[in-house]
Amino acid sequence: MAKVAVIVDEMFEDSEYTVPVEAFRQAGHEVVNVGLERGREVKGKKDSTAVVIDSSVDDVRAEDFDALLIPGGYSPDKLRAHEGPVKFAREFMEKDKPVFMICHGGQLLVTADVLKGRRVTGWRSIKQDLRNAGASYEDSEVVEDGNLVSSRQPSDLPAFVEASLRRLD
Amino acid sequence: MAKVAVIVDEMFEDSEYTVPVEAFRQAGHEVVNVGLERGREVKGKKDSTAVVIDSSVDDVRAEDFDALLIPGGYSPDKLRAHEGPVKFAREFMEKDKPVFMICHGGQLLVTADVLKGRRVTGWRSIKQDLRNAGASYEDSEVVEDGNLVSSRQPSDLPAFVEASLRRLD
């Protein structure tokens, strides 16, 4: 079974955390909440879903995990203001490990500068950011390109979870 | 006296609206809140400052105003998901009218694709977005380049307001 890191901070989009995490756990995979500070509780922006950070991002490395999930909301923009989360996400891309990102999740990979020539989707407000980072933007419920699985918004979650689970088998 | 449009939506950074707007009004300038829907009340993300939208962005044009203020917070990301605010901001740039942006304000101009070759600053999380949009990023409390005045964060407000007021005289 796989070990999945979820990189998350305050104001994540609740369902983009809860739906994939529940699906991964039900399929028998291990989920570890990685954030800025171990033990801190962070909350979702809509339903105030509480998530306790299991590991500080500065204490872990991509090689400790099989895949990375980046939920959306304002969490990715908060994370990318710090060096640790950017470096952590970049490691998954460099090691070609599965990365699942939805909504604003792609902001973290823009700052990590790892999207040149990649096919992606994401929330419409970051379309130009993804293109300017060298990616080609597709307006689809899920885009799969190598190790990268991306979706636009909560209504894409069924397709996003299905595609992500396939990478963990 | 000048007529300044403030483009704003939900979750703006309170002080980045209130401090410049108060300074502009005290100096005798007129301030008009422009947003997605006339009459709607939008709120700040920290102190829930309430702002009523005076004009829908689709009912106004840059030529109706002398300058544009783009406060930060999550408001710019919400605005740029719609075509109207992006087009409105682009008009100010094309007409070389003063544009004052702070924090995440630059996101609106990234989507408007009007930053190539410009010197700017902004909140550190959007640094890479500004660079990818063709701008040169400077880590200063205020950057002035032609019609464009930009700052990074609330602590830069004194310098931001001083530079902006100079453009309205």
Chain B, residues 104-133, CB within 8 A of chain A, namely 104, 107, 110-111, 113, 123-129, 132-133
Calpha distance A73→A8 (Å, rounded): 10
Best of A109, A113, A128, A139 to disrupt the B interface (most B CBs within 10 Å) is A128
* pLDDT, chain B, mean: 98
Q: What is the pLDDT of residue A169?
A: 86
- One-letter identity of residue B91: E
Comparing CA positions, the residue from A104, A135, A108 lying closest to residue A122 is A104
Note if B103 is an active site residue. Answer: yes
Q: pLDDT tens, position by position, for chain A (169 residues)?
A: 999 999 999 999 999 999 999 999 999 999 999 999 999 999 999 999 999 999 999 999 999 999 999 999 999 999 999 999 999 999 999 999 999 999 999 999 999 999 999 999 999 999 999 999 999 999 999 999 999 999 999 999 999 999 999 999 8
Q: Does B77 touch chain A (CB under 8 A)?
A: yes
Q: How many CB atoms lie within 10 A of CB A4?
A: 24
As annotated, the active-site residues of A are: 103-104
Q: Are B42 and B10 in contact (CB under 8 A)?
A: yes
Question: Using a CB-CB distance cutoff of 8 angstroms, which residues of chain B are in contact with residue A110?
Answer: 128-129, 132
Question: Using a CB-CB distance cutoff of 8 angstroms, which residues of chain B are in contact with residue A124?
Answer: 81
Question: Using a CB-CB distance cutoff of 8 angstroms, which residues of chain B are in contact with residue A107?
Answer: 125
Under DSSP, the state recorded for A36 is S
Q: What is the pLDDT of residue A93?
A: 98
Residue with tokens 């991964």: A24
- One-letter identity of residue B146: G
- Contact (CB<8Å) A132/B110: yes
State both tokens at A106.
């792609």
Work out the minimum CA distance from B92 to partner chain A, whole angstroms.
Answer: 19
For CA atoms B133, B134, B140, B144, give the dihedral sign: negative
Q: Does B54 touch chain A (CB under 8 A)?
A: no
Q: Which pTM value belongs to this model? A: 0.97
- Contact (CB<8Å) B128/A123: no
C-alpha distance from residue A51 to each of A14, A34, A39, A65, A144 (Å): 10, 10, 10, 19, 28
Is residue B134 classed exposed, middle or buried when 0-12, 13-18 and 19+ CB atoms within 10 A define those classes? middle
- Contact (CB<8Å) A123/B81: yes
Note if B104 is an active site residue. Answer: yes
Question: Per-domain residue ranges for chain A?
Answer: 3-168
Closest chain B CA to residue A123: B81
Backbone φ and ψ for A97, nearest 5 degrees, come out as -90, 150
Asked whether residue B31 carries a pLDDT value surpassing 90, the answer given is: yes
Which residues, at least 6 apart from B158, have a Cβ–Cβ distance to it below 8 Å? none
Q: Are strands B148-151 and B99-102 parallel, antiparallel or unpaired?
A: parallel
Best of A12, A103, A132, A137 to disrupt the B interface (most B CBs within 10 Å) is A132
Q: What is the pLDDT of residues A101-120, one digit of tens each?
A: 999 999 999 999 999 999 99
Q: What is the pLDDT of residues B92-120, one digit of tens each?
A: 999 999 999 999 999 999 999 999 999 99
ipTM of the complex, rounded to two decimals: 0.96
Closest chain A CA to residue B82: A125
C-alpha distance from residue A21 to each of A59, A60, B25 (Å): 22, 19, 50
Calpha distance A130→A136 (Å, rounded): 7
Q: What is the pLDDT of residues B2-24, one digit of tens each?
A: 999 999 999 999 999 999 999 99
Q: What is the pLDDT of residue B169?
A: 86
> Between B77, B81, B129, which is nearest A110 by CB?
B129
Calpha distance A153→B41 (Å, rounded): 25
Please pick, among B29, B78, B104, B167, the residue that the annotation labels catalytic: B104
Q: Are B14 and B49 in contact (CB under 8 A)?
A: yes
Q: Does B155 touch chain A (CB under 8 A)?
A: no
Q: What is the pLDDT of residue A135?
A: 98
Q: What is the pLDDT of residues B106-165, one digit of tens each?
A: 999 999 999 999 999 999 999 999 999 999 999 999 999 999 999 999 999 999 999 999
Architecture of domain B3-168: 3-Layer(aba) Sandwich (3.40)
